[in-house]
Structure 1
Amino acid sequence: MSRDPRRSRTEFNKLHKRLRRQVGQAVVDYDMIRDGERIMVCLSGGKDSYAMLDILQNLQRSAPVSFELIAVHMDQKQPGYPPEILPAYLDKQNIEYHILEKDTYSVVKSVIPEGKTTCGLCSRLRRGTLYGFAESIGASRIALGHHRDDIVETLFLNMFFGGTLKAMPPKLLSDDGKNVVIRPMAYCKEADLARYAEEMQFPIIPCNLCGSQDNLQRQAIKKMLVDWERQYPGRTETIFKAIGNVSPSQLADRDLFDFGSLNAGEPQAPSDTATALSRITAVNL
């Protein structure tokens, strides 16, 4: 049975409006973009970064502030990489873009043993190149295409395999203090982005050209979350909300909460939020 084209169009419009609203809300909530800024949009050639660029271009046309978008992609010289796809797409988008050529593939293959995942080292090399390029073009923000599911998966990866309680923040200052990284799609579901990319027919470039295995730990976490979501719909959204609703006094990090000052009969300690902010400020100074 064929689909009703009018219904399909209505569903797509709802999807587009939802993604646009979620990106706009994340931008406002975390003060991601200010008037006059140059935003370097990192394109991997995957569904998420294509969607990010498209939605940011939509927001650019109606936002109350003026900002510039520069698309940047990195050709890492993997075998079978199609160099013509992204330039052909970006030429139609009326946007400034740059294709950086750097043979990180050979570097990674010379360091990582055969059969082991190359994703970790590959991403670090790519990130270093992109950060440096952003500074050279005067970009005040670096936009990455991570979505809500990426953030939740990273939370569990760090908990289960790293022993730390952290995820991917929607906005981040780089270690050297020279770059501000933003994740405009922090509120977006991966399933919505997959549907959007399919409807938009983005020319996807696969990320496994190097022949590396997927990050097996991340795939295990993803499967766990999918199973949870199937059994308890809405659980992933609840977990994501928890990331932004932290109570330091109910955890055990002595740098975030002054447990030593808690004594019966004495004035109450400041609120969790005030204590956390004061501790973080002190550490940063």
Structure 2
Amino acid sequence: MQPIPPRPLLRLTGRAISDYDMIRAGDRVLLAVSGGKDSLGLLQVLRHLQKKAPLTFDLGVATVDPGIDGFDPAPLISYMESLGVPYFYERQAIAARAQATLGNDSFCSYCARMRRGTLYRVARDHGYNVLALAQHLDDIAESFLMSAFHAGTLHTMRAHYRVDAGDLRVIRPFIYVRERQLRDFARAAALPVIPDNCPACFRKPTERAAMKALLAAEEARHKDLFRNLLSAVRPLLGADPSSRG
């Protein structure tokens, strides 16, 4: 039986989709699923909205296995078969290529870029016009602080944009959702989360982990912290879905 996402999660996701015109009638949406709680949670939310929303859209799922030692997303194959969703599993030697070509780039940014390129290709090959990613409000806030602190720029992840080639739109329906809401849902619904779904990132402290700790400490003192941060980053999230980014 399909787990029913809690109402607050559905409400926040629905509001983001509406505010940023993320999903339109007839869209073919490809969801990137890594095996973590966020992407598996978004899968359940989008499947629920598929049945309840007043517009019709198709939904497929794609996983890019980067070939990282200790990370095996293969169990997702049988899970997606049990759900009956179109599923595309791509194994790429990203970790091996990173060792040879990384240079001054970080592994995480290199891996993300390579995985994104593979997802674009899968979407195009199978006729999907929208790529859905599962970053949430905590991710948005962390990226904003990292950009301000370490790059001297005001930047964060976009809510909805069109890729440079112009043929795909990228959406982030969880931009209003807190990470703890997804953690609670994954636990309550017994979602098949793959532990440490990116072990290369967990083996050493990262700047993102430092931002997460900073935000947790500040939120303990200021309960409206994330509401205020959302207001601050709204101009950066993008309002024009035809824009590049």
Normalising by structure 1, what TM-score? 0.77
Post-superposition shift, 1:138? 1.4
Residue 28 of structure 2 corresponds to 38
Q: 1:107 to 1:50 in 2, by over 3 A?
A: same
1:175 correspondence with 2:164 = yes
Structure 1 residue 165 corresponds to structure 2 residue 154: yes
- Residue correspondence of structure 1 range 216-235 to structure 2 within 5 A: 216-235=206-225
- Unmatched 5+ stretches in structure 2: none
Q: Which amino acid in structure 2 is aligned with residue 146 of structure 1?
A: Q
Matched, 1:154 2:143: yes
Q: Distance in 2 between matches of 1:224 and 1:83?
A: 31
Aligned with residue 233 of structure 2, among 230, 235, 243: 243
CA–CA distance in structure 2, aligned partners of residues 97 and 214 of structure 1? 32
Tell me the TM-score normalized by structure 2: 0.88
**Residue of structure 2 in register with 1:207 after alignment:** 197
Q: Give 1:211 shift.
A: 6.9
Q: Distance in 2 between matches of 1:211 and 1:244?
A: 28
Structure with greater Cα Rg: 1
Cα–Cα, structure 1 residues 215 and 134, in superposed 2: closer, same or farther, change >3 Å? farther
Distance 1:215 1:53, change over 3 A: farther
Tell me whether 1:26 sits opposite 2:16 in the alignment: yes
The verdict on how the C-alpha distance between 1:59 and 1:211 changes in structure 2, with shifts beyond 3 A counting, is: closer
SS of residue in 1 equivalent to 2:9:
helix
Instruction: Tell me whether 1:128 sits opposite 2:117 in the alignment.
Output: yes
Match of 1:86 in 2: 76
Question: Which residue of the partner structure matches residue 56 of structure 1?
Answer: 46
Q: Which residue of 1 aligns with 2:129?
A: 140
SS in 2 for 1:172: strand
CA distance in 2, matches of 1:160, 1:62: 42
Q: Is the 1:117–1:215 Cα contact (8 Å) retained in structure 2?
A: no
Indicate the SS of the match to 2:6. helix
Give the distance between the partners of 1:233 and 1:211, measured in 2 at CA: 29
Partner of 1:192: 181
SS at match of 1:244: helix
Amino acid at match of 2:120: Y
| Pairwise CA distance, 1:24 | 0.8
Structure-2 residue corresponding to 1:255: none
Partner amino acid, structure 2, of 1:168 = M
Counting aligned pairs with the same residue, the percent is 31
Contact 1:51 1:197 in 2 (8 A): yes
CA distance in 1, matches of 2:125, 2:41: 25
SS of equivalent residue, structure 2 residue 98: helix
- CA RMSD between the two structures: 2.5
Look up the match of 2:6.
16
Shift of 1:99: 0.4
- Number of residue equivalences: 237
CA contact (8 A) 1:78 1:105 kept: yes
Q: Verify the 8 A CA contact 2:130 2:170 in the aligned structure 1.
A: yes
